[in-house]
Amino acid sequence: MPYGCRRGICFGCLTPLTYGRVRDLRTGEIHDRAGQMIQTCLSAAAGPLALDA
Ligand code: FES
């Protein structure tokens, strides 16, 4: 990513999910849809995954 606030404000860290599962650290929600934009500064891996960086 070109830059980032690391606070969930700028959305500069949005990266598409290629495959796998990601947990939103604020809500605990799991995201697993390929192509979904992931806010990487506020997310953690929930298993093996790939992002289209
Ligand atoms: S780095 Fe700013 S929202 Fe993620």
**Relative to the CA of 39, which ligand 1 atom is closest?**
4
Residue 37 makes CB contacts below 8 A (sequence gap 6+) with: 14, 15, 16, 17
- Whether residue 1 has its Cβ less than 6 Å from ligand 1: no
**Relative to the CA of 1, which ligand 1 atom is closest?**
1
- Whether residue 4 has its Cβ less than 6 Å from ligand 1: yes
Type of residue at 27: T
Per-residue pLDDT of the chain (53 residues; tens, 9 = 90+): 677 899 999 999 999 999 999 999 999 999 999 999 999 999 999 999 999 97
Residue 2 pLDDT? 72
DSSP secondary structure of 1-53? -----SSSSS-TTEEEEEEEEEEETTT--EE--TT-EEEGGGEEEEEEEEE--
